[in-house]
Amino acid sequence: MRKRERAEYIAARLDEIYPKTPVPLDHGDNFQLLVAVLLSAQCTDERVNMVTPKLFSMADNPKDMAALKEADILSAIRTCGLAPKKSKAIKALSSILINDHSGEVPSSYSELESLPGVGHKTASVVMSQGFGYPAFPVDTHIHRLAQRWGLTKKNNNVVKTERDLKLIFPEDRWNKLHLQIIFYGREFCTARGCRGIKCEICRTCYPNRKKPYD
């Protein structure tokens, strides 16, 4: 099966398994989405959804968040990884949104990535899920599966993986497909549970693969 054939099969099969792709992070607007995505770094979405209700009950907008003490933010998100660093970033970016963006989350990569704690992946999620802009955020699940499925080279970094996925899949599929791959990676093609040889898609794409593909 060639790469193009694998891509077509993967997209069709994921549509069958995940016809709907709800945003996994609970949020009410783009500011809350931005904060939730920032918190999700080195933390599960489930954990983020457990801590954001308390945080957003304290402050659900940039003005109120900027007015909180950093220690108060930390107390709400303490169980998330890198909590001290994230609490500092959340307070700082909230102030920047108030002072430089009229309290609104900007809708460009450059402006988003200039905010404290916001890298390209976080900006891509906000652009796709918040603003509907075509984007293909690459997290650890997508990076792992793209390699196992032969859609990018094994030793590529996330930047090259994102580039390869954008080249092989049509732009109008990016936003939905990136969530579908994440869902599949969590449910069927886990880091240690599949290892490239057990799940349906891995076996279909590479039926003759015998050794784990780590």
Active site residues: 121, 139
**Tell me, what amino acid is at 64?**
D
**Tell me, what amino acid is at 118?**
V
| Length, in residues, of the chain | 214
The two structure tokens encoding residue 45: 């979405």
| Residue where the block lists tokens 């809708």 | 107
> CB of 26 within 8 A of CB of 6?
no
Q: Tell me the helix, strand and coil percentages in the chain, rounded to 5.
A: 60, 0, 40
Q: In terms of Cα–Cα distance, which of 50, 53, 3 is closest to 165? A: 3
> CB of 8 within 8 A of CB of 204?
no
